[in-house]
Amino acid sequence: MCGIVGYIGNGEAYPMLLKGLKSLEYRGYDSAGFAIVNKGIAIEKDIGRIEDVEKKIDLSMLKGSAGLAHCRWATHGSVTKSNAHPHADCSNKIVVVHNGIIENYSQLKEKLMQKNHAFSSETDTEVIAHLIEEYMKNSGFEEAVRNALKEVNGSYALGVICADEPDKLVAARNESPLIIGKGSNGMFIASDIPALLEYTNSFVYLHDRETAVLGKGSIAISDLEGAKKNFKVSRINWSREDAEKGGYKHFMLKEIYEQPRAITETLNGRLKNGNVIFEEEINLSDKEILEIEDVKIIGCGTSWHAALVGKFMFEELAKITTEVEYASEFRYRNPIIKKNTLVIAISQSGETADTVAALKEAKKLGVKTIAICNVRGSSITRAADGAVYTMAGPEIGVASTKAFTTQLAVLYLLTILFSKARKTLNDRQIKDMIDGIRKIPLQMASVLNEDMEIMNCAELYHKKTNSLYLGRGVNFPIALEGALKLKEVSYMHAEGYPAAEMKHGPIALIDENMPVVFIAPHDIYTHSKILGNIEEVKARGGIVIAIATEGDSEIPKKAGHTIFIPKTLYTLSSMLAVIPLQLLAYHIADKLGRDIDKPRNLAKSVVVE
Ligand code: AGP
């Protein structure tokens, strides 16, 4: 859960490392550090955010054309200067930055201490530097890295430099993200693509248990035995502007506003002549689609909420029994999976440790798997049999927004595909579904026009300490998502519940200090029930904010505030209804002066268990 960037080339390393690292700060921000090769290796690091470290140390004196940088989210060892990365061996000649967890570090440390290695931190990472030092007694630099890694259990994305071999940067990965950037003026490594977009659009994906030796103009990849591996250079069409704030105060706000475009991109090329076309992305034949008996969807956090919406769609329209599981729970029980089950893993980053592990568990059980993911070449896309990309572009804000709605769009397209193949819907219904989603980008833009009303609610209620989000059917997961958004960026306590469950407990919490957000787009089955629930809240003095469908004349009579969303199919209403909740969370957090893009204690991808 840290950020790594590395460079070797003809340019000045430090400014590029700094820029790259700043864009990775969402991954961890309790300390930062740099190591630059120049007649030895200079290391500078301290606790705090990168800008704090810049204020404490004159980093501009770091001169040299190869180096590493790291921002930390502490796992092993508290937040101290000595625990900040980079870490070095006894001689300060071998320097590493690491993201991941070395599970057997205490055994390795003990062994190394018996051989008189002196440790200066409490981290698991430092053992790697000393282990490489140990192996370098009998072998060259890259071989020593490979040998050291053979002894290591756990996850790592690693950058290593060595003062005795200043023309090389060695990188390695296992279950933690790391990409190689091939620039015109040097080679890079980084934890994610946006960190390098300023310098290159050409990337090489490193696979698990592979090492790369980078020179100023060369890349060589091998496995841990040293056997050379072929690799492909992929071009990514994300631009640098995509990964910048573009005039918005925060990435979260920019990403909320990007949703119409993100959905358009996600639909692009996938709807043709009344059909959903996934080419070979999902890697399932029509016969295999017909044979699916069950679907299991796994994910964490917001992606898990998307999975719940997917369950509603698959069961309601494609008539496939669907279960949703937290990836972290799935991987540690013995799930019963029938032969014809399709497992779908959803993840924005594609690197969430629990989701990757759960997907691998499912694969061991021999069933077909698909990843729905936003990041090309990420771990889940490589582990799954098929991968469908959400075309949200880089999502930098820790709170997931556009990734969520594009996940819903992909799940909706899969629903159409499955429903058509299984003939659970007729041509007219399929056409209505396709027409419905085509309108979503424009409708999202009109929801964004409600921002002033939402800001007004934020102004009135940002000092409250608790809130409740209630929804039913396809919008129950939206209640959960709205509450999660508020919690993570504003630190205000919020709970999401199925609206009818309120009477079974949460109603006891309601008083004049409790805002209750009803997600109540029109639905013939439950609309009157939701109206009843609103009355119940009002009768107890609660403050009602409702998300309703344009033209609904009942809800505004009862709710204190009504935010309207355009009329759409019920299954699509969740994609529109979530936007006011994202904005509400954003504006409340902004009024409270929170660090919205990097909320406390959180990191964008949870690559540790
Ligand atoms: C969302 O706002 C959260 N930051 C978090 O719940 C996130 O959705 C979760 O960690 C899963 O991440 P993933 O989609 O990258 O796997």
pLDDT along the chain (609 residues), means of 10: 92 95 83 94 94 89 95 86 96 95 94 96 96 96 97 95 97 92 97 90 92 97 96 83 80 94 93 87 88 96 98 97 94 84 96 92 93 90 94 92 98 96 95 96 93 92 95 96 98 94 88 94 86 92 95 94 96 97 97 93 73
400 CA to centre of ligand 1 in angstroms: 6
Tell me how far apart the terminal alpha carbons of the chain are, to the nearest angstrom. Answer: 10
Sheet holding 341-347, edge to edge: 321-326, 294-299, 341-347, 368-373, 386-389
Q: What is the CA radius of gyration of the chain?
A: 25
Which mutation among 251, 300, 410 tests ligand 1's pocket best, with the greatest number of atoms within 8 A of CB?
300
Q: Catalytic site residue 2?
A: yes
So what's the pLDDT on residue 441? Answer: 94
What phi and psi, each to the nearest 5 degrees, are found at residue 398?
Answer: -60, -35
Q: Are 355 and 341 in contact (CB under 8 A)?
A: no
Residue 399 Cβ contacting ligand 1 at under 6 Å: yes
So what's the pLDDT on residue 350? Answer: 92
Nearest to 404 by CA among 586, 258, 596: 258
Q: In the beta sheet, which residues pair with residue 516? A: 468, 544
265 CA to centre of ligand 1 in angstroms: 21
Query: Which residue is catalytic, options 93, 168, 420, 604?
Result: 604
Instruction: Give the E-state strand segments of 163-236 in sequence order.
Output: 169-174, 179-183, 186-190, 202-205, 210-214, 219-223, 228-229, 234-235
Q: Take residue 384 and report the two structure tokens written for it.
A: 């799954």
Residue whose token pair is 């002033």: 452
∠327-328-330 over CA atoms, to 5°?
60
Q: How far apart are CA 544 and CA 468, in angstroms?
A: 10
Q: Which atom of ligand 1 is nearest to the CA of 484?
A: 2
Which mutation among 390, 395, 400 tests ligand 1's pocket best, with the greatest number of atoms within 8 A of CB?
400
Q: Take residue 513 and report the two structure tokens written for it.
A: 């200090």
Looking at the chain, the domain(s) classified CATH 3.40.50.10490 span 250-445, 450-601
Q: How far apart are CA 368 and CA 427, in angstroms?
A: 28
Q: Which atom of ligand 1 is nearest to the CA of 355?
A: 16
Q: Catalytic site residue 300?
A: no
Classified by CATH at the fold level, domain 250-445 comes out as Rossmann fold (3.40.50)
So what's the pLDDT on residue 609? Answer: 66
So what's the pLDDT on residue 339? Answer: 87
Looking at the chain, the domain(s) classified CATH 3.60.20.10 span 3-236
Q: Take residue 525 and report the two structure tokens written for it.
A: 């089955």
Residue 349 Cβ contacting ligand 1 at under 6 Å: yes
Residue 300 Cβ contacting ligand 1 at under 6 Å: yes
Which mutation among 251, 303, 487, 604 tests ligand 1's pocket best, with the greatest number of atoms within 8 A of CB?
303
Count Cβ atoms within 10 A of the Cβ of residue 568 and give its class: 0-12 exposed, 13-18 middle, 19 or more buried: buried
Residue 582 Cβ contacting ligand 1 at under 6 Å: no
The CATH code for residues 3-236 is 3.60.20.10
Q: How far apart are CA 562 and CA 545, in angstroms?
A: 6
So what's the pLDDT on residue 608? Answer: 64
Q: How far apart are CA 231 and CA 180, in angstroms?
A: 11
Nearest to 227 by CA among 210, 246, 204: 210
Assigned CATH class of 450-601: alpha beta
304 CA to centre of ligand 1 in angstroms: 8
Helix 126-135 / helix 105-114 crossing angle, nearest 10 deg: 50
Q: Take residue 366 and report the two structure tokens written for it.
A: 């021999």
Q: How far apart are CA 17 and CA 414, in angstroms?
A: 41
So what's the pLDDT on residue 84? Answer: 95
So what's the pLDDT on residue 148? Answer: 97
Residue 302 Cβ contacting ligand 1 at under 6 Å: yes
Q: Are 190 and 169 in contact (CB under 8 A)?
A: no
Residue 348 Cβ contacting ligand 1 at under 6 Å: yes
